[in-house]
Amino acid sequence: MITQKMKYALKALMALADEKAGQGRALRIEDIAQRSETPKRFLEHILLEIRNAGYIASIRGRNGGYVLIKEPSSIPLSELLRMIDGPIAPLPCLSRRAYQRCEDCTDETACRIRKLFAEVFWSYLLLIESLTLADLAGSPAAAEQILAMPTSAA
């Protein structure tokens, strides 16, 4: 499940990708909020995280705002998910980047819970790691499917 914060991030990035494909000018935060139907007060913090990760830049001045500085096809959705929501593995013992042994586990190789969720997770991982912002921004149907995913508050 992705968080509402992640949905807001994706919607903002889609607005910036659409602008890059169109006129290519910087968008003020108010414009991004309006286009993405995202509350401005949440968007400020989200855009700061995305900027610090190097996907967008902020431009000062009269014609300033935010602009996408990477091609949408070079922005993996899996990296955005990890950046905004944290580890995407369903169990800490399955995470490649934030691995932790489960406290109650005595033998990972014999753990049936781990085996079952590993199969599901690897299938999910293959799919999510193949998707980029271009897939989301370029396909209204794909965007609708991803943005219709259930969200969690955490």
Smallest Cα–Cα separation from 78: which of 87, 69, 67, 65? 87
Give yes or no for a contact between 9 and 33, defined as CB atoms under 8 angstroms apart.
no
Mean pLDDT of 99-127: 91
Domain boundaries defined on the chain = 2-73+133-142, 84-131
CA–CA distance, 84 with 24 (Å, rounded to integer): 25
User: CA-to-CA distance for 133 and 23, rounded, in angstroms?
Assistant: 18
Question: What pLDDT, in 10s, does the model give residues 90-108?
Answer: 999 998 888 988 888 889 8
Please give the average per-residue pLDDT across 51-63, as a whole number: 91
**At residue 24, does pLDDT exceed 80?**
no
Query: Comparing 21 with 9, which gets the higher pLDDT?
Result: 9
Q: Which CATH architecture has domain 2-73+133-142?
A: Orthogonal Bundle (1.10)
Mean pLDDT of the chain: 87
At residue 14, the pLDDT reads 94
